[in-house]
Amino acid sequence: MTEPTKLPPGSEGESPPPGPRKESSFCADNILFQSRWLLYPINLGLMLALAVYLGRFVVQVGGLLLHSPTLIMSAPGEDHELMVAIVSLLDQAMICSLLIMTIMGGHQIYVRRFKEELTARGPYWLRRIDTIVLKVKLGLAFMGVSSVVLLKDCVSATIVPREVWVTHVVIHIVFLGTTIITALVWRIMHPQSKGDSPDA
């Protein structure tokens, strides 16, 4: 019976050293993988835009409070100015919510997941966010913004041109259609998720 060939000491279980081609491929893959951190300055810019919107919101709320006696004492049929101011505040609130959703959801999906303690204290949708759910929520947010724009057209003291009105309606219908299609795609991809929905 022949004895098995003995390997030199230290050679058992060892893989051959990687060649230069494998090392260069690993470096290229690592560079592509680390490129996700380039989204940080983009999110920072969105945070600055959010701060600008917050400042505008505070200024408009201050102006509304300064003119509150006149707005409160106005006749029932002359409250268009108050309605326009409130609708404008709603518009800015919806856009701020859209920015927050984009910043947090984009970071959670494309950059790095938040720590468990932060996710537990955050909104529920952040725990189960994915690309399609984020698109559905962004679509709902865009629909909310376009709805506020249509409402602003309705309560405006000046006559809105027909072309502008039709354009706003078409944009709202497009947002509605794309959001429904995206939600249907999510349902097809998750047929077993009976209790969950992308708008939760």
* DSSP string covering 45-96: HHHHHHHHHHHHHHHHHHHHHHTHHHHHTS-GGG-HHHHHHHHHHHHHHHHH
**pTM for this one?**
0.66
Residue 133 resides in a domain: yes
Retrieve residue 117's tokens. 């303690």
Retrieve residue 80's tokens. 């268009």
Residue 157 resides in a domain: yes
What are the pLDDT tens digits along the chain (200 aa)? Answer: 555 555 555 555 555 555 566 667 778 788 888 888 888 889 899 999 999 989 999 999 998 899 888 878 877 766 777 887 888 888 888 888 888 888 888 888 888 888 877 777 877 777 777 788 888 888 888 888 888 888 888 877 677 888 888 999 999 999 999 989 988 888 888 776 555 556 55
Residue 162 resides in a domain: yes
Of 167, 136, 131, residue with least CA distance to 149:
167
Residue 20 resides in a domain: no
Residue 158 resides in a domain: yes
Domain range for 38 is 32-71+78-189
Residue 67 resides in a domain: yes
Show the CA angle centred on residue 62, arms to residues 122 and 55, nearest 5°.
Answer: 50
Residue 11 resides in a domain: no
What's the number of domains the chain is made of?
1
CB 150 within 8 A of CB 168: yes
Residue 198 resides in a domain: no
